[in-house]
Structures are given as structure tokens and as C-alpha cells.
Amino acid sequence: MKKFAIIVAGGSGQRMEASIPKQFLLLDNIPILFHTIQAFVALGDIQIILVLPTSQKDYWVELCNKYQFYPSIIICDGGKERFYSVKNGLNLINEPGLVAIHDGVRPLITTTILQQSFQDAAQYGSSVMAIPLKDSIRQVTSNGSSLAVDRTNFRLIQTPQTFVIDEIKSAYDIDFLNFTDDASVMEHSGYPIHLTEGSFQNIKITTKEDLVFAEAIINVNKTISSKSGQ
């Protein structure tokens, strides 16, 4: 089946206490978003759509020129919520196939994970990356108190989330509700969700600590690959 990707890059630098949007902060000397795109490009045989806020498009072109980074991707305008950004991306796809929707600020995504996601989506109809919780978890109640819940009954959800194109397009053919990811949109339309085991490395870069973590993981991976003679 034909493969598509929608990479959603709509963040600001607010939680990072940075003046530039977090997807453009440098990680291993290149913008975070470049890492993300490179993983998809490396997969090969895929049409990549990058959804960017309109206000960031000039900066994007500037960065591409600065780093001589010219991937073969389609740039698409973002919306005021993530939901509308994804919807804009989906509107550009008019062929059957599978689409992996991915957060621009998950730069540690690997080609192996992407392959698994497309493979599971082909087999099960969808693939949503999920990892178990390492910490205990509590549910906050409406009166301000909280209750222990069994963490083994929960999964932390990541991206990519990969779907059959006509199904995700039909799921997105609704008005915005308070969705935090694409699996929720699919579920709202009654589609079943298949969870694929994700990787603890595939973090979303939201805080300064996340950036430190990502930098460290990249360095460790470099050491491993240089030790193995690559």
C-alpha cells in the first residue's frame, strides 16, 4: 500500500523557555524537526507532508538554506489546533494507502519503528505506539482529591499513529472536540485501535530535560555505532 506521513510541527517555545519554537531548537547541531524528517526520508518510498504554522514558513525556508537541508516534502499550513493541522494534511492526500501521523518534536523516532507501524497498520487496520508506565499513577477526582489506579491497565501513547487513509479521513470529517491525538479521533468514529509496543527513547520534546535526554541518547547511539565499527 502507498505510504504517506503527516509530520505535525505546531509548537511554540513556551514550555522550553526558549524564544524560538521548540521544533527548531538544535539537537546534535541541527534543528529537532530535521531529525524527525530524516527518519521518514530514510524509510524511502513515502510521501511526506510537513504541517507548519503559516507564521513559521519563512523561518523554515531560512533554516533549510542555512543547513542545506532540502528533503522532498510537501509543506502544508497548520491550523489553530493540532486537530485542524492534521485535517489540513489529510486534505492533501487523495489516494488510498496508509498514513503515519507523527509529532514533529519526536526526533528520536527510528526507521525500524516506522516500518513496524506501517506493518501493523497494514495487518490490524491501525497502529498506535504505546509504552507501559514505569511510575505509579493516580486519578485526580473532581473534589480535588486523588485515587490510586492500577498502572498496568494504562499505556502512555506516542506517535507515529498509522491509519488506513480513507478511514482516518472519514474520522476527521467532524467538528473539533477535545482530542489530544489521532487515535481519539478514530475511536470517536467507532474505529478500533491497535496498540504497537513503542520505545522509551521515542520521547516528545516538551521540556528542557527532554532536550538533554535526546542529546544524550544520540551521543550514546553514536558511541555504540562507532564501537561496532560503523
Nine cell digits for residue 75: 509543506
Q: How far apart are CA 57 and CA 77, in angstroms?
A: 8
Min separation Cβ 208 and a second copy, Å: 8
Candidates 45-53, 74-82, 92-100, 154-162: pick the segment binding a second copy (CB under 8 A). 154-162
226 binds a second copy (CB under 8 A): no
CB 45 within 8 A of CB 140: no
Please give the residues from 127 up to 146 whose contact with a second copy meets the rule CB under 8 A: 128, 130, 133-140, 145-146
215 binds a second copy (CB under 8 A): yes
How many residues bind a second copy (CB under 8 A)? The answer is 44
**Of 72 and 178, which CB lies nearer to a second copy in the complex structure?**
178
Helix/strand/coil for 42 = helix
Q: How far apart are CA 203 and CA 102, in angstroms?
A: 12
Provide CB contacts within 8 A for 137, sequence distance 6+.
148, 149, 151, 154
73 binds a second copy (CB under 8 A): no
Q: How far apart are CA 41 and CA 71, in angstroms?
A: 7
Chain residues that interact with a second copy, rule: CB under 8 A: 128, 130, 133-140, 145-151, 153-158, 178, 180-181, 183-184, 187, 192-193, 195, 200-201, 204, 206-207, 209, 212-213, 215-217, 220
